[in-house]
């Protein structure tokens, strides 16, 4: 693995890392239904609004979402919607894992 390939895998990991947080993942799923302003997330997520802002900033930095300021509010939307397609496979992993756990008990 040379330096360029290394950089590539670091970039790929960064994208996945941006998604790899419960709150961020949930927000991405919500954005799958349409754009949302920060304030909408603040209303429903039980963490400090500054934390939400930082989560969104991480998603933006990763290139997953884009933002647009309209008046006082900032709206976020998915920039690359294919990330939504990860969900079904992630669920498959969880189910497979749940089965493995169940097999240990039984």
Q: Which of the choices DNA, a copy of itself, none does residue 35 contact, using the CB cut-off of 5 to 8 A by kind?
A: none
Residues from 69 through 88 that contact a copy of itself (CB under 8 A): 79-80, 82-83, 85-88
Region binding a copy of itself by CB under 8 A among candidate stretches 31-39, 40-48, 50-58, 69-77: 40-48
* Smallest separation (angstroms) from DNA to the CB of 50: 3
Q: Which of 63, 73, 51 is nearest to 18 (CA)?
A: 63
Per-residue contact flags (x/-) with DNA for residues 13 to 32, judged by CB under 7 A? ----x--xx-x---------
Decide: is 39 part of the binding site for a copy of itself (CB under 8 A). Answer: no
3-state helix/strand/coil string of the chain = CCHHHHHHHHHHHHHHHHHCCHHHHHHHHHHCCCCEEHHHHHHHCCCCHHHHHHHHHHHHHCCCEEEEEECCEEEEEECCHHHHHHHHHHHHHHHHHHHHHHHHHC
Region binding a copy of itself by CB under 8 A among candidate stretches 33-41, 42-50, 69-77: 42-50
């Amino acid at each position: 693995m040379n330096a360029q390939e290394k950089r590539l895998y670091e970039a790929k990991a960064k994208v996945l890392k941006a998604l790899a947080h419960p709150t961020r993942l949930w927000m991405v799923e919500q954005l799958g239904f349409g754009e949302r302003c920060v304030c909408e997330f603040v209303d429903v997520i039980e963490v400090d609004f500054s934390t939400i802002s930082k989560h969104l900033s991480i998603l933006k930095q990763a290139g997953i979402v884009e933002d647009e300021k309209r008046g006082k509010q900032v709206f976020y939307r998915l920039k690359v919607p294919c990330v939504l397609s990860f969900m079904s496979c992630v669920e498959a992993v969880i189910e497979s894992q749940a089965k493995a756990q169940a097999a240990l008990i039984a």
